[in-house]
Structure 1
């Protein structure tokens, strides 16, 4: 209970931004003034918070403002994508201190882990941060995952990754504690940290990477599912007349909504020559960027392809929001910034028409506040989350 209450107080200070007094913390957390005093004394001794001046608010003694010490702890976040690996160093507030990215060398797990470890080492060295202040490394990886074993299990876009114990081997290679999280869930955690929404916030995070996924936030906390693999949406049908899928159906998200599928549709529409191989992730990324640039420059054919892609994405989004009954939708991921203009123009109205709850409320549609690095930032926030954020599950007693 003591650890939980300390997390409650520390999280309240972090969310306050400009800081809070002990009286304000007691009011915000529901804890007694004595409990708050005892906890803040420990946090001050540990260097996690500091006193930041005094304020006068009505009669009585001036109140001492307590603020987070951002450089007291750090976390490394890594996003593993088939095309590129992104690395960030976050301070305790979640701010990015340093970032870098590296081409994913190939699909061979050993080479990827070696590249990860070397880049993490260079990231920390270049920042000048004391390694003893780093709480750990978070990895956002495509699913499915075996969370208990820290293993990546045959993700569709990472060929040769058959039950790779990524968590253990990277911990051995770096010497840091490592947590493994599904990329979509990590992105949702990053969004929660950066947006500083209310504790009862609920949203679907639609993740646009090399693959498409989704994450669910309910009452201000990411919902992970019984195997921590929530959000596998690849075989939801969004176009019954669409291409055949490996699952035996037609028009699944996997063959309609991914960047590779959009580029293939653009080639079929005549935007690009169809004889160019689009199985290479780098080529797909370059072609999608070109497609979005052409649409932004007024190319009607390119714009039509993206509008159709947005229509398909709205079908997926409506299915998720109607089933989960959330308050809003957030889009993000490595490809979001390129697709944002068209998707935000097309999806909200389509979603409104398809919403089962449109008579009750509207569904806001937003882009992530984190940016393209949301997966890596989210992975780092998962580490900070385990240090800072209170979880009701921490109060459960073992039998």
Structure 2
């Protein structure tokens, strides 16, 4: 049975109670009666009545039909009004910036992309992103006043206090970009900045509804390899909000060990499954990635890697044994890295996702699952569930939007503290 957050009846904390009630309604697709809300939240009938009146007047929930239960009078069902508020999610990737507009339920109602601007001119970065955000909201015919805010998922490291993208290794020209405050000023919306792996984990947690796991690892496979963590329903951010760098975990690379140029055999999972390395390895094994892979040994730019990855994905979809085997080997290596996290935190759920994951998942997920559940070094004796996110390739952008929804809608005990 799903656990539900408990409220408090003190009148001075009405804001907290509103989020408790809204959270309960949001997590119940079939809606809840006021009696059910009181039972699930621990709030008094009068408090539930007052809070639901406020939320109805705010347009965030609505009365939707009645049900007959027992011999009492029919009960009015309350349901979420998804199109009453919205959030924008932005994912900064080396190749493209993805923008999504989410409704109150976390459903993507509009999306767009732009090429990732160079950070040589930070002002141009902000102009490009602000124009895309404003255009996305306008194209969806959404009232800007109904937008709760903008969430940004960025490769780390970030300085979350200052709202700055510091110096991501895969965005070498993005150094010290003051993204949060500048974008807030340009768009007029509150802006949150989060590391991409953490944003993905928050999105997974927020959108899971009543089935939300208390503890899980989100294995994020993008340009880099990372792991977003949720422990006891809270994302693990770390001292500087840069938790999740898992690329240096040492694992048995199996048949992925070594590369055509002799590099990458140190045992680090991030080096082993780097997308550029894998497409070069595919080509070395005879797979035709025409149009997406340079014949030279020069580093490939982000667009070329992405095009080659599309070709690899197409080969997997076509049943090519070389492509399928390579994806399975990558899944196995990532699964072996996940075992270390499972053992460390004693978690029972591992979710795989990310921009590069979704295109190889058909072959990589079964291999990753076997590498985890069949691992000879797996310590926990309880079952471990291994799944693919259903948020798609845009999971980081969706997670970024969910940062805003989570901050605005999810109840937090810290709201109960008396502040002087």
Q: TM-score, normalised by structure 2?
A: 0.88
1:128 to 141, 145, 149: 141
- Uncovered stretches (5+) of structure 2, i.e. residues with no partner: 1-12, 289-293
Q: In 2, Cα distance between the equivalents of 1:205 and 1:333?
A: 9
Cα drift, residue 270 of structure 1: 3.8
Q: In 2, Cα distance between the equivalents of 1:132 and 1:295?
A: 45
Cα drift, residue 107 of structure 1: 4.6
2:397 to 352, 376, 388: 376
Q: In 1, Cα distance between the equivalents of 2:335 and 2:160?
A: 30
1:300 to 321, 324, 329: 321
1:115 corresponds to: 128
2:370 corresponds to: 349
Give the match's secondary structure for 1:330.
strand
**Does structure 1 retain, via aligned residues, the 8 Å contact 2:27–2:210?**
no
Superposition map of 1:179-258 within 5 A: 179-198=192-211, 201-239=214-252, 242=258, 250-258=266-274
Cα drift, residue 218 of structure 1: 2.1
User: Structure 2 vs 1, CA of residues 198 and 311 (structure 1 numbering), >3 Å: closer, same or farther?
Assistant: closer
Matched, 1:54 2:63: no
CA deviation digits over 1:49-90, x for unaligned, max 9? Answer: 111122211122221111111121111111111111111111
1:10 to 6, 10, 22: 22
- Uncovered stretches (5+) of structure 1, i.e. residues with no partner: none
Q: CA RMSD in A?
A: 2.2
2:94 to 63, 69, 82: 82
Cα drift, residue 95 of structure 1: 1.2
Q: In 2, Cα distance between the equivalents of 1:364 and 1:200?
A: 10
CA deviation digits over 1:124-177, x for unaligned, max 9? Answer: 111111111111111111111111111111111111222211101111111111
Give the match's secondary structure for 1:16.
coil
**Does structure 2 retain, via aligned residues, the 8 Å contact 1:85–1:102?**
yes
Q: In 2, Cα distance between the equivalents of 1:302 and 1:357?
A: 28
**Does structure 2 retain, via aligned residues, the 8 Å contact 1:352–1:358?**
no
Matched, 1:366 2:387: yes
Q: In 2, Cα distance between the equivalents of 1:112 and 1:242?
A: 38
User: Structure 2 vs 1, CA of residues 211 and 171 (structure 1 numbering), >3 Å: closer, same or farther?
Assistant: same
Matched, 1:153 2:169: no
2:8 corresponds to: none
Q: In 1, Cα distance between the equivalents of 2:380 and 2:140?
A: 52
User: Structure 2 vs 1, CA of residues 9 and 236 (structure 1 numbering), >3 Å: closer, same or farther?
Assistant: same
Matched, 1:164 2:177: yes
Give the match's secondary structure for 2:343.
helix
Aligned length in residues: 396
**Does structure 1 retain, via aligned residues, the 8 Å contact 2:339–2:378?**
no
**Does structure 2 retain, via aligned residues, the 8 Å contact 1:199–1:219?**
no
Cα drift, residue 336 of structure 1: 1.8
2:344 corresponds to: 323
**Does structure 2 retain, via aligned residues, the 8 Å contact 1:242–1:251?**
no
User: Structure 2 vs 1, CA of residues 355 and 26 (structure 1 numbering), >3 Å: closer, same or farther?
Assistant: farther
CA deviation digits over 1:181-218, x for unaligned, max 9? Answer: 11111111211232224455221001111111111112
Cα drift, residue 242 of structure 1: 4.6
2:33 corresponds to: 21
